[in-house]
Amino acid sequence: MTSNQPRSGMSLRSQLYGLVIAITVVAFLGSLWASISTIRQYLNDQMATHAQDAATSLGLSIAPYVDEENIVIAETMIHAIFESGYYEAVVLTDLDNKVLVSQHNEMKIEGVPAWFIKLFSLSPPVMTTEINDGWRIAGKLSLKSHAGTSYLTLWQHAIRNLSSILVVCMFALLGAYFILRSVLDPLDKVEHQALAVCKKDFPLIKEIPSTRELQAVVRAMNAMVTNVHKTFDQMSKHAERLNKDVYVDALTNLGNRRAFDSQFKADCAEMSSDDTATFGLVQLPSLQVINNNLGYQAGDEYVQFATEIISRQFKEFGSAKIYRVAGGSFFFTIKDTCSDVKTMCEGLHAKFCALHSAGYPEGFGEIIATSFNKHDCSSELLARLDTLLTQQTSSLKEGDVYNDTSFADSHGLHEWSGLIDQIVAENDVKFMFQPVRDSHSDNILYYELFTQFFSQHQSVANNQLYAMAERLNKSEQLDKLVLVALSKMNCFAPGVKVAVNLTHQSLHDDNFRNWLAHFCLDYSDRLPKIVFEVNEDAVLASVESSMQFIQMTKRFDFEICIERFGSSFTSFKYLKGLDIDYLKIDGAYIRDLDSNPENNHFIQAVTQIGHGVGIKVLCSHVENETSLKMLVELNCDGVQGNYIQPAQHLIEKERQKACIYSPIQLA
């Protein structure tokens, strides 16, 4: 059972409580019925005995007066007995069944409900005795008891019996409640513990129950959770160590040259033909002099100080990535080429100039940057930047640290803000898709959707658009636009599952969560099954906020995928408590996997971590058969890339008829 499956069926607590209550009610009704029936039979017998005794006694008393002369005396005696109210009828007849005296009392019963009389009716018999005048039989006397008093007695007995049984039942139910609670509460904790493990959390039950069997269950669950937690931590540390050994610079905790090479290729592969980005170089020219004159510790402090300055300067750009590729050389990339990037580079250059002193004889630092697109290779860009730094008359000497002409057509923050508003107003968005296929079969796990925004029928580069939208706090508007556009499409095949990328702002914004909740309630019947893909850096910005967002989306049956997993070079322990469904390993680990076999160990560790806590591990950027075979051997769950199927336009149905995998319903 996965954590997002609905819980069906009646709980054990409800079944046991229902059983106890049912048994109690049946026992209560049975006991009450038996008691009333017994008293009812007793009262019938009592009325018969009473009527027979009264008939015999009265018959002996009136025997001398049954002749015609004294019949009045007999009638008076009968009337006196009848007036006591205990008899319903008294009839005196002669030998010829001629009625000599007849007294009848109307059947009136007060204080007893009619339904009770109907349910527990009494049948007092007519008792008869012969009247003897010496040796001669003079007549017959019939007497029937009145049931009114007996009904009242029976009703009062039922009330008393009901009250006493109710009290007993209440105490019995109360005792059963405490007994069942002592048994069921530990089972509830075990259930919550199991569900928490499904959500990648590992709580322990601290209160051990007193029941022997439950003690064994709780201790076994605690031992299992402890072992799973220990395995998770060990595998996380192992994967983290592998990652750092291969891709992290030990002194600065930045990515190293190998990380840059892998990441640069992956970033270029994800760029569209319209996208441009920034690539820059920072040099610490005085590092060799400081190492020689003051020692390597002073050189390390110089590098760390420069790292703090660079990181702080680039902090405003969420897409910025910094790498230390050699002793005093740093590379950086930014998914943007706007004028603010140039301003930031010039600001960093100014800080380097301000820090120049006798302690840094060759200068504190130098920076140069340029733009690039998906067709540029890193070696050409490095050659260009190295030339600019070494030229005596380079633009750097004149203060222009961004040697590129692309700024002539770039936008500032104000222009980007207006452009984003215009995109939202025009509501012109199109989709492309690429399947994420099960690595062991042809089944599709889901289809990832890629958006294309248009302004005045012109395509807008996604890299710059999303980067600026994040800086302007407008990425939430783009995410809403995508979801609304998705709800208006009716081309998806039944049961298809699609993935939508979610931005940093939307992940952590309360207003977006409220909007999403209302949106799902209004359009749930129009939406396909959705997977939200969120960047690992966005999750790490606030794990607690990410957890709250995930909990909210699970109520609407959304699935969550953390994409670019491993790109942050951080500990994987943050996965604990995150109820996610997929991990998509960063493409830098997958591209050229056949020529970088050291990535196998990292992918294998991530796969073991994911499978240990019920997360499917996906791999993107699968570009050749060799990589696919290696990923299958590493037991990855899903694969995505041009080798599986290139991205296709969602609405081009005629083209998609030739596709192997398509999410739409083709005619």
* 84 or 422, higher pLDDT: 422
Q: Is the pLDDT at 574 greater than 50, yes or no?
A: yes
Average pLDDT over residues 491-497: 86
Q: Is the pLDDT at 655 greater than 60, yes or no?
A: no
Res. 172 pLDDT band, cuts 50 70 90? confident
Per residue in 50-96, pLDDT (tens digit) is 888 888 888 888 877 777 777 788 788 878 777 776 777 888 888 77
The answer to which of 92-106, 379-393, 470-484, 512-526 has the lowest mean pLDDT is 379-393
Query: Per the structure block, which two tokens stand in for 625?
Result: 């058969």
Distance CA 19, CA 3 (A): 29
Residue 469 lies in a domain: yes
CB neighbourhood size of 68 (10 A): 7
* Count of alpha carbons within 13 angstroms of residue 75, beta-carbon side: 12
Q: Is the pLDDT at 397 greater than 50, yes or no?
A: no
For residue 588, give the amino acid letter. A
Residue 204 lies in a domain: no
Q: Is the pLDDT at 588 greater than 70, yes or no?
A: yes
Res. 338 pLDDT band, cuts 50 70 90? confident
Q: Is the pLDDT at 438 greater than 90, yes or no?
A: yes
| Range with the largest mean pLDDT of 105-119, 368-382, 512-526 | 512-526
Residue 114 lies in a domain: yes
Sequence length of the chain is 667
Per residue in 256-268, pLDDT (tens digit) is 998 898 888 888 8
Q: Is the pLDDT at 455 greater than 70, yes or no?
A: yes
Strand partners, 454: 459
Q: Spell 241-273 as b/e; 16+ CB within 10 A means b.
A: ebbbebbbbeebebbbebbbbbbbbbbbbbbee
Q: Is the pLDDT at 1 greater than 50, yes or no?
A: no
Q: Residue 142: its pLDDT value, please?
A: 85
**Pair (529, 610) in one structural domain:** yes
* 524 or 438, higher pLDDT: 438
Distance CA 124, CA 112 (A): 17
CB neighbourhood size of 383 (10 A): 11
The answer to which of 116-125, 129-138, 367-376, 489-498 has the lowest mean pLDDT is 129-138
**Pair (287, 403) in one structural domain:** yes
Phi, psi of 618 (to 5 degrees): -115, 155
**Pair (312, 445) in one structural domain:** no
**Pair (431, 480) in one structural domain:** yes
Q: Is the pLDDT at 518 greater than 50, yes or no?
A: yes
Q: Which among 595, 662, 590 has a CA at the least distance from the CA of 621?
A: 590
Residue where a domain terminates, one of 383, 409, 435: 409
Q: Residue 391: its pLDDT value, please?
A: 57
Q: Residue 507: its pLDDT value, please?
A: 94
Q: Is the pLDDT at 293 greater than 50, yes or no?
A: yes
Distance CA 324, CA 287 (A): 14
The answer to which of 7-16, 77-86, 269-278, 386-395 has the lowest mean pLDDT is 386-395
**Pair (584, 615) in one structural domain:** yes
* 477 or 591, higher pLDDT: 477
Q: Residue 9: its pLDDT value, please?
A: 64
Average pLDDT over residues 361-375: 87
Residue 316 lies in a domain: yes
CATH label of the domain that carries residue 301: 3.30.70.270
Q: Is the pLDDT at 653 greater than 60, yes or no?
A: no
**Pair (394, 424) in one structural domain:** no
Residue 320 lies in a domain: yes
**Pair (390, 509) in one structural domain:** no
The answer to which of 132-146, 238-252, 541-555 has the lowest mean pLDDT is 132-146
Q: Which among 363, 344, 347 has a CA at the least distance from the CA of 355?
A: 363
Phi, psi of 351 (to 5 degrees): -65, -40
**Pair (139, 84) in one structural domain:** yes
**Pair (282, 335) in one structural domain:** yes
Percent of the chain predicted with pLDDT > 70: 93
The answer to which of 180-189, 437-446, 619-628 has the lowest mean pLDDT is 180-189
Cβ(130)–Cβ(115) below 8 Å: no
Q: Which among 558, 445, 463 has a CA at the least distance from the CA of 507?
A: 558
Res. 658 pLDDT band, cuts 50 70 90? low
**Pair (558, 643) in one structural domain:** yes
Res. 301 pLDDT band, cuts 50 70 90? very high
Distances (CA, A) of 68 to 100, 137, 170, 548: 10, 15, 67, 105
Cα dihedral across residues 51, 53, 58, 63: positive or negative: positive
Residue 64 lies in a domain: yes
CB neighbourhood size of 386 (10 A): 14
* 179 or 281, higher pLDDT: 281
Res. 393 pLDDT band, cuts 50 70 90? very low
Q: Is the pLDDT at 416 greater than 80, yes or no?
A: yes
**Pair (403, 450) in one structural domain:** no
Res. 394 pLDDT band, cuts 50 70 90? very low
For the beta sheet containing 321-326, the strands, ordered from the edge strand earlier in sequence to the opposite edge, are 321-326, 329-334, 277-283, 366-372
Q: Is the pLDDT at 15 greater than 60, yes or no?
A: yes
Q: Residue 436: its pLDDT value, please?
A: 95
Domain that holds residue 95: 12-170
Q: Is the pLDDT at 390 greater than 70, yes or no?
A: no
Q: Which among 245, 184, 190, 239 has a CA at the least distance from the CA of 211?
A: 184
Residue where a domain terminates, one of 386, 409, 432: 409
Distance CA 290, CA 359 (A): 8
Residue 131 lies in a domain: yes
Cβ(77)–Cβ(143) below 8 Å: no
Q: How many domains does the chain have?
A: 3
Average pLDDT for the chain: 83
Q: Residue 400: its pLDDT value, please?
A: 67
Cα dihedral across residues 648, 654, 658, 662: positive or negative: positive
The answer to which of 184-193, 294-303, 535-544 has the lowest mean pLDDT is 184-193
Q: Is the pLDDT at 41 greater than 60, yes or no?
A: yes
Residue 591 lies in a domain: yes
Q: Residue 129: its pLDDT value, please?
A: 84
Interstrand relation of 529-535 and 582-585 (parallel, antiparallel or unpaired): unpaired
* Cα dihedral 504→508→510→515 (10° resolution): 40
Give percent helix, percent strand, percent coil of the chain, each to the nearest 5. Answer: 50, 20, 30
**Pair (334, 378) in one structural domain:** yes
Q: Is the pLDDT at 340 greater than 80, yes or no?
A: no
For residue 48, give the amino acid letter. A
Residue where a domain terminates, one of 121, 148, 170: 170
Res. 664 pLDDT band, cuts 50 70 90? confident
- Would you call 571 helix, strand, or coil by DSSP? coil
Average pLDDT over residues 241-270: 86
CATH label of the domain that carries residue 60: 3.30.450
| Terminal Cα-to-Cα distance of the chain (whole angstroms) | 37
CATH label of the domain that carries residue 438: 3.20.20.450
Average pLDDT over residues 378-389: 80
Phi, psi of 162 (to 5 degrees): -60, -45
Angle (deg, nearest 10), helices 413-426 and 475-487: 10
Average pLDDT over residues 139-157: 84
